[in-house]
A and B are shown apart, each in its own frame.
Chain A
Amino acid sequence: MIDSLTHLMGGFGAALTPVNLLFAAIGVLLGTAVGVLPGIGPAMAVALLLPVTYAFDPTGAFIMFAGIYFGAMFGGSTTSILLNTPGESASVMAAIEGNPMARSGRGAQALATAAIGHFVGGIVGAIGIVLLAPLIASVAVNIGAPDYFAIMVLAFVAVTGVLGSSRIRGFASLAIGLTIGLVGLDPISGQARLTFGVPQLADGIDVVIVAVGLFAVGEALWVAAHLRRTHQEVIPVGRPWLSKADVKRAWKPWARGPFIGFTFGSIPAGGAEMSTFMAYVTERRLSKHPEEFGKGAIEGVAGPESAASASSAGTLSTMLTLGLPTTAIAAVMLAAFQQFGIQPGPLLFTNEPDLVWTLIASLFIGLVLLLLLNLPLAPLWAKLLRIPRPYLYAGILFFACVGAYAVSGQAVDLLVLLGIGLVGFVMRRYGLPVLPAIIGVILGPDAELQLRRSLQIADGDVTTLFSTPLAITVYTIIAALLLYPVIRTFLKPRTRADA
């Protein structure tokens, strides 16, 4: 505890250099700008901005990432509030109450509520990381390969089975991701798998190319096929501010949101999507003005928005301590870590304490900058919504190509990028969720490694996989998740009779 604080102070010392502050500010501005752009969600924003960070040392890069992450989350909400067509599921809740607020001339208040919500949620979430992450890491240091394998299987099942409407499609997406992850030389035996004799495939398909392909190129192609030809109405907005009455109604939701957000963000159960939804439902239930919900209730913006930022922090906490990405953005960030040769996980806190604590300190700095920059800049961000769509999507394709090319400097990679983009297109067309695929690509090879390592240690004895209490607990949870729909069908007649 005291130890954490000392480390954190050290982190602040490292993060508060002029250069690092500049990185944080650039990250926040870039993240917000890219996040505000319609059609670009936080995951795509982080994926597209990856190449920008190649030139920096890991510390600078991750300081920038922290800013991009929170900036992109806030930017997404701005779009939802002013356009009413949320780009990603996490900002659906912001649109439900925020857009009616904007329509009735309270757009400035909606944006201010969202911005302060993100600030409060992010700060509480970052405090959560400071308090909990070292604890989780110290416990996790002792867990072995079988436990890891179990936790990764849980991540697969959770992102696939819990989210989305169709499990078959979710698992199909996961299988596609795992297959892409299989391409290349097997790290243990050196055996080539699915390379078909193509030398470029021996190193596997770079995770960055997969992420950019699925998110950016896939999205651009998908939008191109269904481009809205009519212009959408953008609600003009002034400088955000809040009256005393607004603050009085919003402060409790701001304070409640982070606890919901951090909890749901840190477990593999839907990240910001689940968090904002739960926060919204909670606020609607607790509100003194339930009749206003759906028509622009400020509580319905405040709660979900502070939950959204806190869930980002929760997601980061799990990613840093266990190396487990629970959302698409975390998956892309994990890819970024791997790009720098850093493996997040329990050992990260002992191996790279300076990096981790500087990153955590820069979360606080990034959030302060976010609030300071975004309140005055809101009218400017709103202008970004008017960018002509051909330029927007041409730009997305352009920077996707820059990112893919920068990975290894081979033009062939653009063809791989296009191929994966087409897969992303087909997935969007037929309702295959993208998240399981990207989690599969990133965690798949690692999961296989843990599985084989456990079996190597146990001399091929399969029971080793169920030999620890943690593993058994995790497999029980997995079984419950998988069997839940079956159980639910049994319960359904009864609930209907009740109603």
Chain B
Amino acid sequence: MTVVEERTREKQSRLREHSELGVSLLLFVVGVLVVVDTALESGGSSSDPIGPRTIAFVLGGALLLLSVLLAVDVLRGGHGEAEAGEDVDLGTPADLRTVGKLAGVLIATAALIPLLGWPVAGTVLFWGAAATLGSKTPARDVLIAAGVSLVTWIVFDGLLGVDLPGGPLMGVFG
């Protein structure tokens, strides 16, 4: 390992240590949101002594308090332990690009469902996710994705009666 690599790694790890302040910021923003939103609404009636706003205010306050406490904890060297798991290798830095791509696949799926129906949208979802997660066999992936998606649609929409739109392609069966 070269010195430069060592340095960037050090920089990265310091960045990662303090990135936890982002959680604190998130709590703070949500807290402000809750307090402001509640303040803008009107109160309850006389038959309901504490009304719909009290709990919301308490919760907003708690969020703000927790964001401060968490920030103090992080700055004093505390840190939350990342969750381990069967397929989780915490030795590697977080691969946020993959996470972003998966989010993109989910958004695309949400957009495709009303247009093309579940079988097609589901195929895109499964195939896109598998490819993003490093599957190297695109042809096999498409077949599996289409199979899973179609079988799921038939089982849920046809057998179980859970309404999943078939889309124009399934019109031939409908």
Contacts and interface: CB of A to CB of B under 8 A. Distances in A.
Interface string A426-455: 101111100000000000000010011001
Contacts of A102: none
A132 interface: no
B129 A189 contact: no
A229 B148 CA distance: 25
A351 B30 CA distance: 40
A394 B70 contact: no
A38 B86 contact: yes
Nearest to A196: B37
B98 A414 contact: no
Contact of B162 (A186, A221, A406, A431): A406
A194 B37 contact: yes
Interface string B136-160: 0000010011001100100010011
B132 A398 contact: no
A176 interface: yes
Interface in A171-203: 171-172, 175-176, 178-179, 182, 186, 188-189, 191-194, 196
A169 interface: yes
A105 interface: no
Given A221-B102, A390-B135, A397-B106, A188 B48 contact: yes
A51 B160 CA distance: 9
Q: Which of A83, A221, A429 has the most chain B CB atoms inside 10 A of its CB?
A: A429
Contacts of A196: 37
Contacts of A428: 82-83
A26 to B, nearest CB: 12
A166 B134 CA distance: 35
Given A220-B102, A432-B80, A455-B49, A55 B135 contact: no
Contacts of B110: 411-412, 414-415, 418
A395 B162 contact: no
A409 B23 contact: no
Given A55-B162, A179-B34, A393-B129, A426 B26 contact: yes
A192 B148 CA distance: 40
A391 B130 contact: yes
Given A83-B86, A223-B87, A455-B49, A54 B160 contact: yes
A65 B48 CA distance: 38
Nearest to B106: A418
A430 B102 contact: no
A20 interface: no
Interface residues of B, number: 84
Contact of B86 (A55, A87, A412, A456): A87
A107 B73 CA distance: 44
Interface in B32-80: 33-34, 37-38, 41-42, 44-45, 47-53, 55-56, 59, 62-63, 66-67, 69-70, 73, 78-80
Contacts, number: 240
Contacts of A189: 44-45, 48, 51-52
A405 interface: yes
A310 interface: no
Nearest to B16: A429
A405 B96 contact: no
A176 B67 CA distance: 11
Given A175-B63, A418-B107, A85 B85 contact: yes
Nearest to A182: B56
B94 interface: yes
A195 to B, nearest CB: 9
Nearest to A460: B49
Contacts of B170: none
Nearest to B68: A168
Contact of A390 (B99, B114, B133, B159): B133
A229 B89 contact: yes
Nearest to A79: B86
A178 B82 contact: no
Contacts of B81: 165, 431
A188 B107 contact: no
A371 B69 CA distance: 49
Given A79-B86, A226-B94, A402-B156, A394 B129 contact: yes
Contacts of A259: none
A480 interface: no
Interface in A71-129: 79, 83, 85-87
Contacts of A176: 27, 30
25 contacts: A54-B161, A55-B162, A172-B23, A172-B27, A175-B59, A175-B62, A182-B55, A191-B52, A193-B52, A222-B88, A225-B98, A227-B87, A229-B92, A230-B89, A388-B135, A389-B134, A394-B125, A397-B102, A401-B109, A411-B113, A414-B113, A421-B106, A432-B80, A452-B50, A456-B47
Interface of B: 20, 23, 26-27, 30, 33-34, 37-38, 41-42, 44-45, 47-53, 55-56, 59, 62-63, 66-67, 69-70, 73, 78-90, 92, 94-96, 98-99, 102-103, 105-107, 109-111, 113-114, 118, 122, 125-127, 129-135, 141, 144-145, 148-149, 152, 156, 159-164
Nearest 7 CB-CB pairings of A with B:
A431-B80, A460-B49, A394-B129, A55-B160, A390-B135, A38-B86, A390-B133
Given A225-B95, A402-B156, A406-B163, 15 more contacts: A39-B85, A55-B160, A168-B66, A169-B70, A172-B66, A175-B59, A179-B30, A188-B44, A189-B44, A226-B89, A390-B141, A415-B107, A429-B83, A448-B55, A452-B48
